[in-house]
Structure 1
Amino acid sequence: MANFAYGYVSPVTRDGVESALSLLTIVFADGRFRTLFCLVFGAALVIQYKAHNKGVDNLFVIKSRLCVLGVFGVLHGYLLWPGDILLNYALSGLLALLWLDAKHRLLSVALLTVLPVILLVILSILVSEPGFDRSSAEYATLLSSLPVSYAELLSENISHFNMMIILIPLATLWNTLGLMLLGMELYERGWFSGKAFVSGKMMWAWWWGSVLASLLIWSNNETILGQMLETLNWLAAIPMALCYLILMQAIHQLWPKLGQVLAIVGRYSLSLYLLQSMVGILVFHFLFPATRVSFTRVEYFGFFLALTLLQVILAILLDRAKKTGPAEYLLKRCVQRLSHM
């Protein structure tokens, strides 16, 4: 959130902690949670469809919810953070509804997850950008162009989010759709209730493949090869996300109280996601703009942990007070209005 255009720019000298956090981020975080959320989102569509009577009315409610979510995404992308995921989720979810009653989805999953990656690899070859660090002239130019007022931030957001909207139908929409279809298929086959979709040995092989691919990307992250491999990280994220699903099931069984906390956070996920953007923009652009220059991975990681803890505490307090999250409340009211039109 400190810098959308170029992301994190490495310092000139990197210590062991910086390098270790970089490696851990690529192996366990980059694209992993996005993939996990897409899988869960796809499963949730099936659950919503089956929880109520199948039919036109139920589909209308689901479609209405997705349309309102898309509007939230557009407002979020333009007003706060152009890296919004809500619009992409909404559009992909609307397309995923076409597969609700499909018997076989795995071929569609394979095509939709792999083909966009191939396209982006080709684009990365055609349009390669040289890497730079904090001592370069490019970084100095970047610092001089950072917004210092909300008007400047809004202008920058409009430009960046317009580019994101163009990119959605080119690649990210289809990859996200493929992941949602995989989530739907996993739910239908009982993965979310503990049934094995593949053997344990196969799962371990996929996990090690994901780790090795991430290590290859990390070791070449400042080369043209690394830029090409970075897109392949979308595929490497899938086995790790599946492992996270297994881990969440284990947590729910072994530590039910911790599993309950995760469920509570999930109920307020939309409000917490928007809060995360508001806090990030407020801190990095208005309260402490100098952090955009001074923060390293260590400080960003500390900020992430503090913000995550704040979000968990807030979700628990809202749950104990039996309050609906503001974004969830607004989403529900908008869907109700659409249903009565």
Structure 2
Amino acid sequence: MPPLPGAFAPIHAAQRIPALDVVRGFALLGIFLMNIEWFTRPFQQMGSGIDPAAAGIDRSAAWLVYVFVQGKFWVLFSLLFGMGFAVMSTRGGHGAQFRRTYARRCVALLAFGLLHALLLWPGDILHAYAIAGLLLMALGEIGNRARLGLGIGVYAVLAALTVVGGALLSVLPAEATAEFAKAGEETDAAAAAAARVYAEGGYWQVVLQRARDFATVALPAAMMVVPMALSVFMLGAWLVRSGRMHDIHAQRGWFARLALWTIPAGLAFVALSVRVGTGFDGMREMGPMLLATGLMLLGNLPLALGYLALVVLGLGTPGLSRLLSWLAPAGRMALSNYLLQSLVASTLFYGYGFGLWGQVGRAGQVLLVFAVFALQVVASGWWLSRFRFGPMEWLWRWLAYGRRPQLRL
């Protein structure tokens, strides 16, 4: 159904910013590389670093993902969400129509996230994005410099507090951290129980386990994730409102400088984190684990910005640009592909599917990710040659705008 004349409606394909779709496709690959481990490892161990059971090529693969992918692509994906908000608000202003549409958009995303967590994977990020998106809208139309300052400031403060908390816990005597050791035993028991359910349970048993994991791990983590996502959203909005993403060829010098500044800084913080450790005994090593996490957070944002800059620079390079453009269809269907990745992984690893829980090493997981993603890239190109939106993107727009958009080309 076509939009009414003058109505605030979904953006036409020709009006999209091509660079954003390419970067979104690139981020989608990194997200899958990071997430797949947690379809075959207890969710209670998230944050404890590299699996101590990994050895040989599996440990090498785990180390590479931990150092160069984990956390960085989550930030990159968050930057893109903020950019999408800026594009949408630029078209719709901050009037009542925009606010109603964007609020419905976030509520629909929250519903998608909760269903994703219960039916496919408890590590969902969409629910946190939905809440942060509503907070971003509530901030209203603030100056672009204020966006930049708030984005960097909030992110840096949260990361620094994590570093300080970890450092303080690291120097406390063992008697003062005895409660953490007790909590570690409870976490180990919960992880073992969850692993049994995921490996052997039927579908509804796994659904109940996902609900427990989401309530006990993901929701408490949202206290940190939501404000960090909000801060990165503001940086993404700043990038679009500053005009950097609209004419990337004219901004090549700026992106080159961004890469030169952010990549060394990010690698320095990541190196400090790795020096503290890459694997921890959960709650029993809460101090070092928090310290390493905080340092990694300080490295994640600059590295994500560096990755963004490198992709944009690649888009201005003949040959490399043609290769990167293959990612654009997958990026245009990012929501559909994100959920499809969870469907594939949960079917492969959980007991109600092929039951491969614990049987595929980290190197095998990486190969699987590249194979599935290559198929997604091809399938996304095929789909978008026939339809205007991905299936979930079409539903999302319908729920947000209140009118069913035309699907077929």
* Alpha-carbon contact 2:347-2:353 (below 8 Å) kept: yes
CA distance, structure 1, for counterparts of residue 86 and residue 195 of structure 2: 46
Give 1:216's match in structure 2, choosing from 272, 275, 282.
275
Identity rate of aligned residues, in percent?
A: 24
Which stretch shifts more, 276-285 or 201-210?
201-210
Alignment CA distance shift 1:256-1:160 (3 Å): same
Provide TM-score, normalisation by structure 1: 0.85
Give 1:170's match in structure 2, choosing from 202, 223, 247.
223
1:287 maps to what in 2? 353
1:335 maps to what in 2? 400
CA distance, structure 1, for counterparts of residue 339 and residue 135 of structure 2: 24
Which stretch shifts more, 317-326 or 271-280?
317-326
Alignment CA distance shift 1:220-1:314 (3 Å): closer
After superposition, the C-alpha distances for 1:156-181 in whole angstroms (9 at most, x for unaligned) are: 11111223563255211101111111
Alignment CA distance shift 1:100-1:184 (3 Å): farther
What is the 5 A alignment of 1:22-37? 22-37=62-77
3-state SS of paired residue (1:84): coil
**2:315 counterpart of 1:252:** yes
CA distance, structure 1, for counterparts of residue 72 and residue 59 of structure 2: 19
CA distance, structure 2, for counterparts of residue 13 and residue 243 of structure 1: 29
Structure 1: unaligned runs, 5 residues or longer: none
Deviation, structure 1 residue 302: 1.4
Give 2:291's match in structure 1, choosing from 224, 229, 253.
229
Give 2:212's match in structure 1, choosing from 145, 148, 159.
159
Task: Give the number of the structure with larger relative contact order, counting CA–CA contacts within 8 Å between residues 6 or more apart.
Answer: 2
CA distance, structure 2, for counterparts of residue 58 and residue 97 of structure 1: 10
CA distance, structure 2, for counterparts of residue 140 and residue 280 of structure 1: 20
CA distance, structure 2, for counterparts of residue 57 and residue 175 of structure 1: 28
1:2 maps to what in 2? 40
**2:148 counterpart of 1:106:** yes
What amino acid sits opposite 1:163 in the alignment? T
Deviation, structure 1 residue 19: 3.0
Deviation, structure 1 residue 44: 1.3
3-state SS of paired residue (1:293): coil
CA distance, structure 1, for counterparts of residue 190 and residue 112 of structure 2: 34
CA distance, structure 2, for counterparts of residue 178 and residue 143 of structure 1: 34
What is the 5 A alignment of 1:1-341? 1-3=39-41, 4-6=43-45, 10=51, 12=53, 14-15=55-56, 17-103=57-143, 104-117=146-159, 122=165, 125=169, 127=180, 143-146=195-198, 147-164=200-217, 166-167=219-220, 169-192=222-245, 193-194=247-248, 195=251, 196=254, 201-217=260-276, 219-222=277-280, 224=285, 226-232=288-294, 233-254=296-317, 255-285=320-350, 286-289=352-355, 291-337=356-402
CA distance, structure 1, for counterparts of residue 189 and residue 212 of structure 2: 23
* Alpha-carbon contact 1:213-1:236 (below 8 Å) kept: no
CA distance, structure 1, for counterparts of residue 387 and residue 341 of structure 2: 22
Alignment CA distance shift 1:231-1:334 (3 Å): same
After superposition, the C-alpha distances for 1:82-136 in whole angstroms (9 at most, x for unaligned) are: 11111111110111123452121234224421344355564894646769xxxx9
Alignment CA distance shift 1:183-1:138 (3 Å): closer
Alignment CA distance shift 1:207-1:137 (3 Å): closer
* Alpha-carbon contact 2:120-2:343 (below 8 Å) kept: yes
What amino acid sits opposite 2:316 in the alignment? Q
Q: Aligned residues, how many?
A: 332
Structure 2: unaligned runs, 5 residues or longer: 1-38, 170-176, 405-409
Deviation, structure 1 residue 149: 0.5
Alignment CA distance shift 1:46-1:336 (3 Å): closer
3-state SS of paired residue (1:14): coil
CA RMSD of aligned residues (A): 3.0
Deviation, structure 1 residue 270: 0.6
3-state SS of paired residue (2:358): helix
